[in-house]
Amino acid sequence: MSHMRKYEDELHAAGIRFIAGVDEVGRGPLAGPVIAAAVVLPIDFPVSGIDDSKKLSAKKRDELFELITKHSLAYGIGIVDNDIIDEINILEATKLAMKKAIEEARGGADIEHLLIDAVSLPGIDIPRTSIIKGDECSVSIAAASIIAKVTRDRLMAEYHGKYPHYKFDKNKGYGTKEHYEGISKHGICEIHRKSFLKKLYDKER
């Protein structure tokens, strides 16, 4: 797993201590927010088990979520809801969520460098490196992906209690067969992204 520390080790060797990994989840779903996390790990944080959140079981993600939030030097979470996504588009909403997460993390650590998963982020006054598939090769980005994923999954499970017709507890807002069947029978609800369901939304108006 030493490859997961490559970027961090290079920055630490240059005297940079506070490195924040940044990642998001929820760009593709039909419902719910996009959520980003920024995580600053200590230099001696154990890499074992840390990986791209999509490759881990829900149980493992929950275990790592507790480990990361307990031992990180700082972390922040940025949430941008479906109404803002509809207003400014999903890419800009993703950037906004990342900026919110970074600003929150800055409250706990003087971040010196950002490692970001494949998104350019103008308007942030911190040196940064954008890494394609960063959650597969940076422990900091992978940690952020886990925090964002667990946070969003838990939120979508809560939404399931309010909107049970769409099976958000299972599909997390993605366009599964059950989800589309729920929309067909009950229409869309207030957390659906109308810009992602424009034809269906226009029919309901």
The CATH number of residue 95's host domain is 3.30.420.10
Q: How confident is the model at residue 67 (pLDDT cuts 50, 70, 90)?
A: very high
Amino acid type, 38: A
Q: Is the pLDDT of residue 135 over 90?
A: no
E strand or H helix at 22: strand 19-25
CA distance between the termini of the chain: 52
**Residue 174, Cβ neighbours under 10 Å: how many?**
15
Indicate the number of domains in the chain. 1
Cβ atoms of residues 25 and 145 within 8 Å: yes
Q: For residue 18, what are the contacts with CB-CB under 8 A and spacing of at least 6?
A: 40, 73, 74, 109, 110, 111, 112, 113
Is 65 part of a structural domain of the chain? yes
Distances in whole angstroms, Cα of residue 191 to Cα of each of 7, 56, 59, 93, 134: 37, 27, 26, 15, 29
Q: Is the pLDDT of residue 2 over 80?
A: no
Is 203 part of a structural domain of the chain? no
Strand partners, 78: 36
Q: How many Å apart are CA 139 and CA 161, to the nearest integer?
A: 34
Is 204 part of a structural domain of the chain? no
Cβ atoms of residues 126 and 21 within 8 Å: no
Cβ atoms of residues 167 and 178 within 8 Å: yes
Share of the chain above pLDDT 70, in %: 94
pTM for the predicted model, two decimal places:
0.93
**Three-class secondary structure of residue 33 per DSSP:** coil
Share of the chain above pLDDT 90, in %: 80
Better-predicted residue by pLDDT, 102 or 47:
102
Give Dmax over CA atoms of the chain in angstroms: 58
Which pLDDT value is given to residue 56? 87
Q: Which domain holds residue 36?
A: 2-154
Give pLDDT tens digits for 98-133. Answer: 999 999 999 999 999 999 988 888 889 999 999 998
Is 184 part of a structural domain of the chain? no
Structure tokens at 84: 């803002």
Is 170 part of a structural domain of the chain? no
Q: Is the pLDDT of residue 204 over 60?
A: no
Tell me the average pLDDT across 32-56: 87
Give pLDDT tens digits for 78-88. Answer: 999 999 999 99
Which pLDDT value is given to residue 203? 59
Better-predicted residue by pLDDT, 55 or 151:
151
